[in-house]
Structure 1
């Protein structure tokens, strides 16, 4: 908790329930079935064309 991780293209990350992830502009995240991701709204977070968030049936995305 409190760790900062920089993901490079091709990195694979498994998120556990309770994990907190901050996405920055330009991040590309591929979620797999069963992942639970909680996104927190930030004033300085803007999604731009090219940002990619793929989700499939079974995802729980809470704002």
Structure 2
């Protein structure tokens, strides 16, 4: 799944991937292309972290999420 956030014409992307039954990744690709990856052993922890990030981005002036499920 992919989500984009926008601020002043810049875009930041969040990606969520399930790599195995018990392995998930949350990738944050900043507007400058810098990528950060966090790994999780279960979907609940991933969902909590994703929610935290979305709230943090909103408080920093980013709008979104915009995106879709693939």
User: Shared topology, TM-score over 0.5?
Assistant: no
Q: Which has the higher helix share?
A: 2
TM-score w.r.t. length of structure 1? 0.29
TM-score w.r.t. length of structure 2? 0.27
